[in-house]
Structure 1
Amino acid sequence: MDYRVAKSVNDDRGAVITGKADIACGVAFTWGRSTQVTYSLPFDIGGTRLLMASDRYGSFNLGNLKDLSLVESTHTKQFRRLMTDRTSGVDTCHKSCEYFGLCGGGNGSNKFWEHGTLASSETNACHFGTQIPTQVLLERFEEGPPLTSFTSN
């Protein structure tokens, strides 16, 4: 694998468009650049945006669009493994979690980083970002409106 530092945003963008680079990363964020460069990967599996490899999923790279169409990439062994595990994780959440309607099975990248697989369910991100805030809000709603005293002038 070969890495190089781009000299400009346009250099990065050109490398991706021409296929010289599979991904451009490391471009510092500015509001001006945000109109020219995307800071996330638009083609992902349930939020999985990883720039590293794993024993189970390899590099998470499904191919180069110069060589393989998006449809063709869905027929690869790599894609099927990702989709099978992701679907398994979502199904587990659906069957076991009362908060499923709020998150739809969670974020794949959180599942991978916390459990090492997409075929998992509850994550700390879900627990602290969805479940606890929902519990707090529901408890507050069940208490009813706060009692206030009215004073007359």
Structure 2
Amino acid sequence: MKILYISISGNTRSFVKRLQEYAANEHATNSAAPLIELTEIDDNTLPEEEAVPFFVFVPTYLEGGNGVDNGDQEILTESLREYIDYQENAAHCLGIVGSGNKNFNRQYCLTAKQYAVQFNTSLLADYELRGTNQDVKQIYEILKERAAQS
């Protein structure tokens, strides 16, 4: 399974690396359990020529406000949005996983919700900040199930 992600503060990177380790451990005991390939997207990432199904992990960074009637402007993660939006990439997106801080109420995972709408795909799951071990396990199972359906 391929995961595209962006990480500004390191929280998303930490989570997807733990998810990758979890997948490797699962694969070691059950060869049918899929491994995870990670690609961190930044302003210098070039689009791939070969279309491969992928999942997207995106944190939420917004400009102030409450995220609903003001302050819903995404900042810092635009390079990931542009990567997905390039040519036919969005058609290969199997779903979005969002992260954020629940202290921000309505803004929690708002960027992931916006991506799901823009790219006509599902918001599969969410987790707070660096996530818990239980989040890792649950999200791996969700990704596995969704990948098997595609």
* TM-score range for the pair, normalised by the shorter chain length: under 0.3
Report the structure number with the largest CA radius of gyration.
Answer: 1
Structure with the higher fraction of residues in strand conformation? 2
